[in-house]
Structure formats: C-alpha cells, structure tokens
Structure 1
Amino acid sequence: MGKSKFGLYIIGGAVVGAAVSMLDKTTRRHVLDRSNRMTKQVGFYAKNPEELKQRFQETKDKYVSIYEQFSGDAAYIKSQVEELKTLTPQVKELVVDTKEAFVDSKEDYKDIVHESHVNSASKKI
C-alpha cells in the first residue's frame, strides 16, 4: 500500500494559492510591508532582548490581572447564586404568606365596605 499524499497536496495547494494571490498588486504590497515591519521588529528585539523580556512581562502581568479579576467576579457570582438558592424557599414562603394575607384581607375589606354601605343606606331611610 502506498504512502498517503494528502499532506503533500495540502502543502502544494497552499503554495499554489499563495502564488496566485501574489498576482494582485495590493496583496503583494501588503505582504511586503508586513514582512518589512516584521523583519525590523525581529532585528530590534535581537539587539534589545531586555525590551522583549519587558514586553513579555507586561503582557503576562496584564493576563494575570485579567485572570484574577475574572476569578474574583466568578467567586462573587457563585456566592450570590448560593445565597439565592438558600433564599429562594424563604422568598417563596414569604410570597405565599403575603398572598394569603391579601386574600384574607380582601374578605375583611368586602365585609367592611358592605357594612358601611348598609349603614349609610339605613341612615338615609
């Protein structure tokens, strides 16, 4: 059984695609500009390794800070969810009790309104 040429064809397709895309003048100019900038950066950091080290440190510090902020926020949200889980049954009970109180009061208010209506009607007679 022969070797698979899949990888070879993938690489060949990429090379042909890159070559065809270089026929466009704008693409060529863009690739040359990016290549020149990258070459200058590599040269700069080759001469100034401390600068590269400092940039890596700054980037690392930024990501550590983001991670710590995210961790703090996640812990806060988790604590709020846990608190909500414990409060939910209490809140449900409070709502049910409040509803029952209003239903009971509704009957009392009906009686009061009915009595005041009957008393005012009897006074008119």
Structure 2
Amino acid sequence: MGNSKLGKFILLGALLGGAVALLDRSTRNSVMGTSKKAANEISFYAKNPETLKQKLVEQKDKFQAAYEQLSGDVSYIKEQVEELKALTPQVKELVTDTKETFVDSKEEYETILKESPSTTS
C-alpha cells in the first residue's frame, strides 16, 4: 500500500516539475519545436516504412563493422600480450646474463687495475 502512494507522488512531482518548467518561454518553444519535429518524423516514416527499414539496415551495418573492427583490434592486442608473455622470460634471462657478464668483467678489471701498478713499479 505504501508503494502505491510513493508511485503516485513521484508521478505527481514529475508532472508538477514539467508544468513549472513550461512556464519559461524558451523551454516551451524548445519543447514545441522538438515535439513538432518528432511528430513530422513519425508521420514521414509511417508513410515511408521502406526508408525507415533502409536507415535501420545502414545503422546495423555500421555497428556490425565497428564491432568487427573492435574484435580484430582486441584479437591483435591479445596476440601481442601473449607474445610479450612468451618473450619476458627470454628477456629476463638475457638481462641476467648481461648483468653477470658485467659483474664478472668488473671483477676482472679490478684485478687488472690492482695488478697494473705493481707491475709498472
């Protein structure tokens, strides 16, 4: 029972809000213009259903093409991510090997530098 009152009051509030908004001349003109345009379009498409059907088919084709493009892009990105996942261990191993090489080289250079002054003296 409380729900029916809530629904009635919401509807009443919407109607009162609409009525108050229509007190403004520019709002009234805008609503009238939009309503006339919508009525004209409905009338036109009621008389020419093939035109409406053609427009709907065109829109469907556009959305389908956009969907196919998006699917292709998502597929490409997935492939790239999988490839990156496969390459990551290889790159990690390469970086580790390079680091070890530099550490070993550093130790060798330190050894050479320590020995060099004693051999020249």
Q: TM-score with structure 1 length normalisation?
A: 0.84
Q: Does 1:30 align with 2:30?
A: yes
Q: 2:84 maps to what in 1?
A: 84
RMSD: 2.0
Q: 1:103 maps to what in 2?
A: 103
Q: 1:94 maps to what in 2?
A: 94
Partner Cα distance (2:110, 2:32) in 1: 87
Assess, with a 3 A threshold, how the Cα gap between structure 1 residues 108 and 2 changes in structure 2: closer, same or farther. closer
Q: Secondary structure at the match of 1:23?
A: coil
Q: TM-score with structure 2 length normalisation?
A: 0.87
Assess, with a 3 A threshold, how the Cα gap between structure 1 residues 22 and 112 changes in structure 2: closer, same or farther. same
How far did 1:11 drift? Answer: 1.1
Assess, with a 3 A threshold, how the Cα gap between structure 1 residues 100 and 3 changes in structure 2: closer, same or farther. closer
**1:50-92 deviation digits (Å, cap 9, x = unpaired):** 1111110111011101111111111111111112222211211
Partner Cα distance (1:78, 1:31) in 2: 48
Partner Cα distance (2:2, 2:23) in 1: 36
Q: Secondary structure at the match of 1:4?
A: helix
Partner Cα distance (1:28, 1:118) in 2: 100
Partner Cα distance (1:31, 1:72) in 2: 43
Q: 1:57 maps to what in 2?
A: 57
Q: 1:41 maps to what in 2?
A: 41
Structure 1 segments unaligned to the other structure (5+ residues): none
Assess, with a 3 A threshold, how the Cα gap between structure 1 residues 2 and 109 changes in structure 2: closer, same or farther. closer
Q: 1:18 maps to what in 2?
A: 18
Aligned-pair identity (%): 58
Give the letter for the 2:104 counterpart: D
Partner Cα distance (1:13, 1:3) in 2: 15
Q: Secondary structure at the match of 1:5?
A: helix
How far did 1:26 drift? Answer: 0.7
